[in-house]
Amino acid sequence: MRRRRWLQASCSTRFQRLIATALLLAAASFVGVGALGLRGANAAGVPKRFHASIAGDLQKATSQLMCQCGCNLTVSACEGTMVCDISARMKKEALGLLEDGKDVGAVLASFSNDYGEQVLAAPTKKGFNLTAWIMPFAALGVGVIVVAVALLRWRRRPVMATAELPTPDAAYVARVEEEVAGEQ
């Protein structure tokens, strides 16, 4: 691949490379500080967190919430695969709650109160929903026990003693042999 002449000229010396790197880092930090800056304080006087610190919490929250547009995807998946204004609105609402100082659990509880438990991607681990968590493991355990008992029964089944065959009558055997020989 041929290098362009202006690239060779601008990066020819070590000093120029150092200056270019410093300028790029300064520009990136300036843009980053502007985008990640504090947003003031909420009504309770708690300063809002940096956007970078809530990005992970926002991803956790939106991946645990089902989009309400009917696509059967989580909010984060729906926003990435479909054009959906409902997922964008839900993500914006979650971001607002996180900026107000709430944690992921409080955000999920708020959405559950507003939309009902069907907004949660996984059922809660309490009450009747606990059966959704326990039943697969219980069914697997019962299945393992049934198979183990069946195998043990098959293995322990006594072998039936074979009865000795009675000896055939000599006259009968002679008559059968004569008939077989006569047919040939």
Does residue 152 sit within a domain? yes
pLDDT at residue 6, rounded to an integer: 44
| Higher pLDDT among residues 166 and 145, named by residue | 145
Domain that holds residue 60: 51-122
Question: Is residue 174 very low, low, confident or very high in pLDDT (cuts 50, 70, 90)?
Answer: very high
Does residue 43 sit within a domain? no
Domain boundary among 104, 122, 140: 122
Is the pLDDT reported for residue 149 higher than 50? Answer: yes
* Cα distance between residue 72 and residue 59, in whole Å: 18
59 and 116 together in one domain: yes
Place of tokens 């839900």: 90
Question: Is residue 155 very low, low, confident or very high in pLDDT (cuts 50, 70, 90)?
Answer: confident
Domain boundary among 91, 122, 153: 122
Does residue 45 sit within a domain? no
Does residue 147 sit within a domain? yes
| 5 backbone φψ class: left, alpha, beta (φ>0; ψ -120 to 50) | alpha
60 and 112 together in one domain: yes
**92: CATH:** 1.10.8
Does residue 26 sit within a domain? yes
Is the pLDDT reported for residue 141 higher than 90? Answer: yes
* pTM attached to this predicted model: 0.47
Question: What percent of the chain has a predicted confidence (pLDDT) above 90?
Answer: 23
Domains of the chain: total? 3
Does residue 46 sit within a domain? no
Longest Cα pair distance anywhere in the chain, in angstroms? 119
Does residue 42 sit within a domain? no
* Cα distance between residue 56 and residue 114, in whole Å: 23
| Higher pLDDT among residues 83 and 169, named by residue | 169
Q: For the segment 37-90, what is each residue's pLDDT rounded down to a tens digit? A: 444 444 433 345 555 667 888 888 899 999 888 888 888 888 778 778 888 899
Burial (CB count <10 Å: 0-12, 13-18, 19+), residue 116: exposed
Does residue 44 sit within a domain? no
Q: What is the mean pLDDT of residues 112-116?
A: 89
